[in-house]
Structure 1
Amino acid sequence: MKRFRCGDVVPGCSATFVGGEDDILVGVGEHAVRDHGLVEVPAELVLAVRGALVDA
């Protein structure tokens, strides 16, 4: 089980995701499009998210 806090990558965002790595990546992708206005999730963001995952 992992945890990701969006604010660790996007300052000021309070969204938090908990689950398996794949589930978190899907949720973060949807969140990035819906709440941060991204049209697609760049590979750099995926790497940043993976680097910010911690054990839950």
Structure 2
Amino acid sequence: MKYQLACGDVMPGCAQTFDENDKGVLLGAVAKHAAGAHGITEMTPEVLAAVESKIRVSQG
């Protein structure tokens, strides 16, 4: 499975995209990006829910 996320779906105006075979790896990359690019250093349940609601899953 492929897990994909466009950061702009959560943070309008951000062009960063993520494409991973493992959801945990994707979430780790998103957390690192969120801290460095957006100053979000804590993945609260609300932030995590917003991110997970925008993850697309494909068989690719």
TM-score w.r.t. length of structure 1: 0.88
Ranges in structure 2 where 5+ consecutive residues have no aligned partner: none
Q: CA RMSD in A?
A: 1.1
TM-score w.r.t. length of structure 2: 0.83
Q: Which has the higher helix share?
A: 1
Percent identity between matched residues is 34
Ranges in structure 1 where 5+ consecutive residues have no aligned partner: none
Q: How many residues align?
A: 56
Q: For residues 1-50 of structure 1, give each alpha carbon's deviation from its aligned partner in whole angstroms, at most 9, with x where no partner exists.
A: 11000000100000101112111110010001001012322221111111
Question: Which portions of structure 1, spanning 4 or more consecutive aligned residues, are displaced by more than 4 angstroms?
Answer: none
Which structure has the larger Rg over C-alpha atoms?
2
